[in-house]
Every structure is written in structure tokens, then in C-alpha cells.
């Protein structure tokens, strides 16, 4: 029985190909048996996925042939139409002499190609009448075969012709990771899709089927690592009580090429080791971490390593002992090398302190750049895409291109903490691409962020909601993150196209307009929340809704610290007349960002304090432009609603209705942001709203009095 359209199957939906011509083409071309040569848990996973996919897409059972394609093709009229394997595991793959192509595929890559078996296999088998076309899925390693199977099925799910099918693909980045900010009590920090997937209480005895489906979904987009626990770490996960549970998850994910990491709390030697100190210079502390790693490797031999948030937002770290981040990272990295262990330490550069005068946007660079080269071989530094904190728009982090001796990972937030949380449709691929494509000019032009990192980490938006991400379009961001980590040159548009076809329908009357809607959604949220470079003006703590008036508590957690609105104007002067954060970028950025005339208007108020009367390129004053950007954001959501209204009938009612309701909330919240922010900023500008900007539906004092107690993941004081 087809499962209800509840989103559970994500993009791995294998319904019968809806286009009759394409279905006929596939059925005819694939009228034969399938061989998955060789045997391993990964190849078993590949075989299982091929069976599930082909039987679903073709609407008929799949016939798997044993042995190798060559033997079968020779002996059996029911010729082989698909063969998957590695040259080592399959003589017929070897016979195809794909050496050069497979060299390009590397360790994790694959080839998916339609070949005329008679031409090649025939030669090996002695001439056979009639060359048969055969789809070859080949790789150097089993995991590449699995990735190739998903790529082949994706081609069919998106109705690509088999004729001329010829893909050779290898991941650009070695590390393609999800970071789950999941707590051991089942809550998820900044999570809006239910509770944690990891059912710690029932592990290791019970393995939820969701673990395998999680692994399948990740393998289908090439994600090869996951950090199971929150960076605001809990040492308990490193204890004997939890390690068998971690091992059970690692075992479930391993066939799908996903390595498990954990977050390490720097004070663990004290909290679970009974030591008096966690000082990296104390021999007993290093011994404790080495013993702990030995213990972890006993449970998870291919343990990926530790992700560490230290000396940031109250987390313990090496600076508590007068040591620096490199000393902290090397303590854990050296421990992970014990017994030749392959684990790595990933040290987050999200470090800033409240009791310093320095601009928060500068502090990570100030702390980390002097340590370039001081990290040991199995340490990496992970920096967020921007220097503050996953805002709807930030300039790229100046650390990218500033630590040439240190392998780096870029951290994106897939969960929408600052982009509408669980209710706003915001397709993030344009945001990911904007940063990955940004030229750092490190060593001159042509040095984009995407080429300066060895990996990507995405703060997951996954929970145990039936549809995994809460919002039906949330999974598009998980999908896009993985696809871009594998191939940063993909366009946001093409990724959206694939996702829509795989998730909803290949009907162009749906795909085309909805893809356009997705492609406008990131600019829309920027405009109705923080246009023109405004940032960090959300409500306190839960970050749900606007809070430009927030001015209590630590300065760098308020809003006034960032917008600096006054009678003269608005924005944060980060040029040399201000904090001079622009100086942390490679030329020509300090000049480009530093001058009002050349600074991109999308980042104007990030880098400049600008007079309300400043003439924008539109010819309007800054104040009028600001108002019309906010209005434009609201109008964009209205347009999204109108588009969706006309398309519901092209997909299942359940998801059509769910998105319709959410878009209604999104428009209401976009108006809330516009009205609250403009009313508040108007108290400084004292200027009227320009024509075209709707009057606010409320008074500033009402907006300021709004209190939301139970917002999803309103961080509890006890955490």
C-alpha cells in the first residue's frame, strides 16, 4: 500500500515513471536482469536500493542475476541490462577497461554509463549476435558503487533519457558532514522538526528503521559523516553507558559510507574522569583523553573523531587554563591518533567573548589566524559561513583564505534558526552558493571560499517529525547541502529542479513555477527580516520574530549592538573609521567593502553607518529604500502564496494544504517583521513611510510587548 504522502520518503520516492514515453523507453531498455557484482554490506545496500528503485520506477519486479554480468550475458538469453560493481569485484567491469575514467572517480566517485555490451563484453565472451546496451555503474570502491546507484536512480526519477547516459563524478570535498545539535535528553537545539532521531533510551537493543532511511537519504546525496551530538556538549556521551549506543548507530550507518563523530566537552576529564583539571599541559589529562579514545575505538573502530566548541558562549576550553585553541585541539587530536586511530579533531572557530571591546565580527579571526600552522596533522578548523552567526545574509567569513596551513571546514546552518525556523519556506542553496562562490582573493583573484575548504558541515534541520524536517520544503535544504558538498559547481536552480521532481512530480507545470518560487525565497527572507546588510535584530533567546529594540543583557547578544540606529542613520561602521573589520579581508575587499560607493548595497549596513538621507543606486534615500525592501519581502511571500494557490491540485492534497497553511503563517510573520522593524527604526529617522510601503498593522509598543513563551526550542535555562 503506498504510504500516505507524509513526506517520510523524502526525495527517495520510486513511484512508477509518470511519463508514458519515458516509462516505455526505460522498460524496453531495462528489460533484462541486474547484476551487482561482489558482496559487502555496502554492495548489499546498493543491490537493495537498485531493487527498490527499479521495481518502483518500472512498475515491475527486478530480476537479479547471480555471478557476473559476462557469464550471465553469455549463458542467459535474459541478458544483463545493468551491472554494478568494481573492477576487482566484477570481471565484466574490469573488461570494460574504464581505467582512466575510474582514476578520475577517485576513492568515492563513480561512473554511470550506457555501453553496448556486445561491443565490449561480446569481445570477451566471443562474438554474440546483437549488441545489447547495458548500464554500467562502476567505481573503485564499493561506496562509489552505492553513490553511483543513487545517481542512476536519480536520473530516472527525474526522467533523464538513458540514451547517452554518461556520468563520471567524484566529490570535490572529502568531508561532507551533518552536525546534529541534538541533546541526550532528546531535545534539539535550534531544531524545529520534533525530537532527536537518536533514541538513546532504546539503543543499542532497538534499531529504529529510521536510522537506515537516514543513512540512505544521506548516501543518496553523498554525505559521508555525521556528528551525533550538540556542540554545547554533554560529556555523558563519552561514557560506557553511551558508547555501545553510539556503536549501534555507527554500525547502522557504516554500509552507507557515513562515519560517526561525537562532540567532546573540554572539561570531560573532570566531569566523567574524576580529574581535578582539564588543563592540556597536564600529563594526566592527555593520558585520560588517550585512554578515552582507545575506549571509543574499541566500540567504533572507524570513529570519525571529535567536533569541539570551546571557549565560546560559556563552553569550557583551553583558554580557561591560559592555553590557546591549538593547544586544546592538539590535546584531543593527539589522543585520537592513539593506536594509529584515524579520528580527527574539528575545532570550531565560533569563538567570541562578551567582555572585550573588539567587534564580535573580528574576534574569531583575531583568535585563530595567529594559530595557523600550530594545529597538528589531524586537526581541522570549522568556521561558519559568515563572521557573526548564520544571518540571512553575511559577508563570507574572513578566516577563509586566512589560514593557509590549516585545513578548514565551512559550517552552514541548514536548520533555519534565523530564517523563519519551522514555518518559513526558504530555499538555502542560493545562500550556500553565495558564500562558496565568494572570492577570498587569497593569493589573488580566483580563490573562492569553496576552493579554500576541505569540507562542509551543515547544522541539520532533521528531527523525528514524520517528514524529517518539519516544513515540507525543509528537506530541499538538506538535499541541496549534500549535493553542493559533493559538487559545488551545481546551480541552485538545477538542485531545486531535481528535488522537486524527486519529491513531488516531474510535471513542468508544477516544477517550473515552484522552482522559481524557491529561487526567490532567500532574498525574500533577507528583505522582510534584515535588508541591506542589517543583521542580528531578532527577538532574544528563541530568536523567533523581530526584536530590533533588544538592548539588555550582554552587548553582543542585543540588537542595538548591530544596527546602531540613531537620528543620523543606521548600520555598523566596520570600515577604518569604525571597527575596521574590513581589514581582515584580502585586497581588494577592504577598499570595496570600505567605501560607501563600492560596497554592495546588500551589505551596506553590515559595513557602514549610513545617513537616512543617503542616495541609493535606485535614486531613493536609504530610509525609503529600507522601507520598500521590507515591503518587497512581504510582497514576495504574497506572490509565493498566490503561485502555490494555483498549483495545489498538481500534487497530493496533504502536502499541498500543509504548504498553503505555512505560507499563510510566513506572510503574517513577514508583515510582523516589516511593521515592527520600520516602526522602531522610524523612531530614529522620524521620516514618513514612502508611497508603496503599507502602513503598519499595529503600534510599536504592542510589538515590543509581544512575548512568546513556548517557541520550538526556546532554550531552557537548564541547558
Burial code of 285-313, b = ≥16 C-beta within 10 A, e = fewer? bbebbbebbeebbebbeebbbbbbbbbbe
Residues 314-353, one symbol each (x = binds ligand GCW by CB under 6 A, - = not), give: ------------------------------------x---
Choose, by CB under 6 A, the member of 279, 389, 556, 573 that binds ligand GCW. Answer: 389
Burial code of 341-352, b = ≥16 C-beta within 10 A, e = fewer? bebbbbbbbbbb
Residue 286 CB contacts under 8 Å (≥ 6 apart), including other chains: 280, 331, 334, 335
Cβ distance to ligand GCW smaller for residue 5 or 713: 713
Q: Check if 279 is active-site.
A: no
Cβ distance to ligand GCW smaller for residue 35 or 383: 383
Q: Tell me the closest approach of the beta carbon of residue 309 to ligand GCW, in angstroms.
A: 5
Burial code of 63-90, b = ≥16 C-beta within 10 A, e = fewer? bebeebbbbbbbeeeebbbbbbbbbebb
Residue 497 CB contacts under 8 Å (≥ 6 apart), including other chains: 158, 511, 515
Residues 500-529, one symbol each (x = binds ligand GCW by CB under 6 A, - = not), give: ------------------------------
Cβ distance to ligand GCW smaller for residue 389 or 467: 389
Any idea which residue has 529617522 for its cell?
Answer: 685
Q: How far apart are CA 645 and CA 338, in angstroms?
A: 59
**Catalytic site residue from 199, 313, 372, 652:** 313
Site for ligand GCW in 81-140 (CB under 6 A): none
Q: Tell me the closest approach of the beta carbon of residue 479 to ligand GCW, in angstroms.
A: 22
Q: Tell me the closest approach of the beta carbon of residue 382 to ligand GCW, in angstroms.
A: 10
User: ∠ CA 614-615-619 to the nearest 5 degrees?
Assistant: 155
Q: Tell me the closest approach of the beta carbon of residue 541 to ligand GCW, in angstroms.
A: 9
**Catalytic site residue from 417, 556, 635, 713:** 417
Cβ distance to ligand GCW smaller for residue 219 or 349: 349
Site for ligand GCW in 171-200 (CB under 6 A): 181, 189-190
Using Cβ positions, the residue closest to ligand GCW within the complex turns out to be 389
Contact 43, 36 (CB under 8 A): yes
Q: Tell me the closest approach of the beta carbon of residue 189 to ligand GCW, in angstroms.
A: 5
Task: Count other C-beta atoms under 10 Å from residue 253's C-beta.
Answer: 22
Q: How far apart are CA 626 and CA 612, in angstroms?
A: 9
Q: Check if 313 is active-site.
A: yes
Give the DSSP per-residue string, 593-633. Answer: HH-TTTS-GGGHHHH--EETTPBPTTSSBHHHHHHHHHHHH
Q: Tell me the closest approach of the beta carbon of residue 341 to ligand GCW, in angstroms.
A: 26
Q: Tell me the closest approach of the beta carbon of residue 355 to ligand GCW, in angstroms.
A: 18
Q: How far apart are CA 523 and CA 296, in angstroms?
A: 44
Contact 212, 255 (CB under 8 A): no
Cβ distance to ligand GCW smaller for residue 190 or 658: 190
CA 519 to each of CA 182, 479, 511, 665: distance values in angstroms, whole numbers, following the listed order: 30, 15, 12, 19
Site for ligand GCW in 546-575 (CB under 6 A): none
Cβ distance to ligand GCW smaller for residue 190 or 609: 190
Choose, by CB under 6 A, the member of 309, 397, 515, 608 that binds ligand GCW. Answer: 309
How many residues bind ligand GCW, per CB under 6 A? 11
Q: Tell me the closest approach of the beta carbon of residue 713 to ligand GCW, in angstroms.
A: 8
Q: Is 449 exposed, middle or buried (0-12, 13-18, 19+ CB in 10 A)?
A: buried
Q: Tell me the closest approach of the beta carbon of residue 414 to ligand GCW, in angstroms.
A: 13
Cβ distance to ligand GCW smaller for residue 71 or 232: 232
Cβ distance to ligand GCW smaller for residue 315 or 503: 315
Q: How far apart are CA 112 and CA 110, in angstroms?
A: 7
Q: Check if 389 is active-site.
A: yes
| 417 part of the interface to ligand GCW, by CB under 6 A | yes
Cα-flanking dihedrals φ and ψ of residue 612, to 5°? -55, -30
What is the side-by-side strand order in the sheet with 133-138?
A: 63-64, 33-36, 80-85, 133-138, 110-116, 166-169
Choose, by CB under 6 A, the member of 40, 158, 195, 232 that binds ligand GCW. Answer: 232
Strand (E) or helix (H) holding 434: helix 429-436
**Catalytic site residue from 389, 498, 556, 625:** 389
Cβ distance to ligand GCW smaller for residue 465 or 713: 713
How many CA atoms, within 13 angstroms, populate the side-chain half-sphere of residue 693? 21
Q: Annotated catalytic sites, by residue?
A: 313, 389, 417
Binding site for ligand GCW (CB under 6 A): 181, 189-190, 231-232, 309, 313, 350, 389-390, 417
Amino acid at each position: 500500500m503506498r504510504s500516505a504522502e507524509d513526506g517520510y520518503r523524502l526525495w527517495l520516492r520510486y513511484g512508477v515513471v509518470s511519463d508514458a514515453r519515458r516509462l516505455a523507453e526505460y522498460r524496453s531498455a531495462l528489460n533484462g536482469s541486474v547484476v551487482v557484482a561482489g558482496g559487502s554490506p555496502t554492495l548489499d545496500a546498493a543491490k537493495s536500493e537498485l531493487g527498490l528503485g527499479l521495481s518502483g520506477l518500472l512498475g515491475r519486479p527486478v530480476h537479479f542475476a547471480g555471478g557476473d554480468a559476462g557469464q550471465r550475458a553469455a549463458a542467459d538469453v535474459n541478458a544483463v541490462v545493468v551491472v554494478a560493481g568494481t573492477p576487482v569485484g566484477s570481471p565484466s567491469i574490469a573488461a570494460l577497461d574504464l581505467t582512466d575514467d575510474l582514476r578520475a572517480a577517485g576513492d568515492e566517485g563513480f561512473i554511470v554509463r550506457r555501453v553496448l555490451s556486445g561491443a565490449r563484453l561480446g569481445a570477451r565472451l566471443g562474438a554474440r549476435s546483437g549488441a545489447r546496451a547495458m548500464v554500467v555503474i562502476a567505481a573503485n570502491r564499493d561506496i562509489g558503487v552505492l553513490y553511483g546507484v543513487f545517481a542512476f536512480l536519480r536520473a530516472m526519477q527525474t526522467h533523464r533519457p538513458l540514451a547517452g547516459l554518461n556520468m563520471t563524478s567524484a566529490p570535490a570535498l572529502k568531508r561532507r558532514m551533518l552536525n546534529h545539535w541534538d541533546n541526550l535528553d532528546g531535545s534539539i537545539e535550534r531544531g524545529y522538526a520534533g525530537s532527536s532521531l537518536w533514541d538513546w533510551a532504546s539503543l543499542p537493543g532497538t534499531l529504529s528503521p529510521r536510522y537506515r532511511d537516514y543513512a540512505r537519504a544521506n548516501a543518496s546525496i553523498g554525505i559521508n559523516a555525521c556528528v551525533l551530538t550538540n556542540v554545547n556538549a554533554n560529556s555523558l556521551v563519552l561514557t560506557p553507558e553511551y558508547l555501545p549506543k553510539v556503536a549501534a548507530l555507527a554500525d547502522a550507518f557504516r554500509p552507507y559510507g557515513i562515519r560517526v563523530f561525537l562532540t567532546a566537552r573540554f572539561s570531560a576529564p573532570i566531569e566523567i574522569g574524576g580529574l581535578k583539571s582539564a588543563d592540556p599541559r597536564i600529563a594526566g589529562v592527555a593520558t585520560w583523553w588517550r585512554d578515552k579514545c582507545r575506549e571509543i575505538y574499541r566500540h567504533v573502530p572507524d570513529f570519525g573523531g571529535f567536533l569541539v566548541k570551546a571557549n565560546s558562549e560559556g563552553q569550557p576550553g583551553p583558554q580557561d587554563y591560559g592555553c590557546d585553541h591549538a593547544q586544546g585541539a592538539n590535546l584531543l587530536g593527539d589522543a585520537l591518533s592513539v593506536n594509529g586511530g584515524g579520528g580527527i579533531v574539528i575545532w570550531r572557530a565560533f569563538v567570541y567573548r562578551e567582555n572585550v571591546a573588539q567587534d564580535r565580527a573580528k574576534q574569531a579571526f583575531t583568535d585563530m589566524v595567529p594559530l595557523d600552522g600550530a594545529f597538528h596533522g589531524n586537526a581541522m578548523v570549522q568556521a561558519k559561513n559568515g563572521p557573526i552567526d548564520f544571518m540571512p545574509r553575511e559577508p563570507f567569513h574572513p578566516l577563509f583564505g586566512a589560514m593557509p596551513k590549516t585545513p578548514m571546514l565551512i559550517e552552514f546552518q541548514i536548520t533555519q534558526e534565523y530564517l523563519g525556523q519551522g514555518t518559513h519556506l526558504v530555499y538555502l542553496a542560493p545562500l550556500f552558493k553565495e558564500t562558496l562562490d565568494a572570492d577570498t582573493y587569497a593569493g589573488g583573484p580566483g580563490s573562492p571560499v569553496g576552493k579554500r575548504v576541505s569540507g562542509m558541515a551543515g547544522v541539520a534541520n532533521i528531527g523525528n517529525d514524520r517528514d524529517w524536517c518539519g516544513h515540507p520544503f525543509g528537506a530541499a535544504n538538506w538535499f541541496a547541502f549534500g549535493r553542493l558538498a559533493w559538487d559545488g559547481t551545481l546551480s541552485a536552480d538545477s538542485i531545486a529542479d531535481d528535488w522537486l521532481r524527486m519529491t513531488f512530480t516531474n510535471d513542468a507545470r508544477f516544477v517550473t513555477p515552484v522552482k522559481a518560487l524557491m529561487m526567490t525565497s532567500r532574498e525574500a527572507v533577507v528583505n522582510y527580516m534584515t535588508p541591506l546588510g542589517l543583521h542580528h535584530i531578532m527577538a532574544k533567546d528563541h530568536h523567533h520574530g523581530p526584536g530590533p529594540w533588544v538592548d539588555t543583557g550582554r552587548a553582543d547578544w542585543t540588537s542595538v549592538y548591530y544596527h546602531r540606529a540613531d537620528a543620523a542613520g543606521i548600520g555598523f561602521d566596520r570600515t577604518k573609521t569604525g571597527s575596521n573589520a574590513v581589514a581582515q579581508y584580502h585586497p581588494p575587499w577592504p577598499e570595496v567593502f570600505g567605501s560607501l560607493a563600492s560596497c554592495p548595497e546588500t551589505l551596506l549596513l553590515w559595513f557602514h553607518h549610513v545617513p537616512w538621507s543617503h542616495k541609493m543606486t535606485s535614486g531613493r534615500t536609504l530610509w525609503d529604500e529600507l522601507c520598500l525592501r521590507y515591503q518587497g519581502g512581504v510582497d514576495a511571500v504574497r506572490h509565493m502564496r498566490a503561485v502555490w494557490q494555483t498549483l495545489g491540485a498538481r500534487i497530493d492534497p496533504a502536502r499541498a494544504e500543509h504548504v498553503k497553511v505555512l505560507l499563510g503563517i510566513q506572510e503574517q510573520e513577514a508583515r510582523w517583521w516589516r511593521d515592527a522593524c520600520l516602526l522602531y527604526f522610524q523612531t530614529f529617522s522620524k521620516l514618513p513611510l514612502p508611497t508603496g510601503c503599507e502602513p503598519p498593522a499595529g503600534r510599536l509598543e504592542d510589538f515590543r510587548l509581544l512575548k512568546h513563551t513556548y517557541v520550538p526550542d526556546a532554550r531552557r535555562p537548564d541547558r
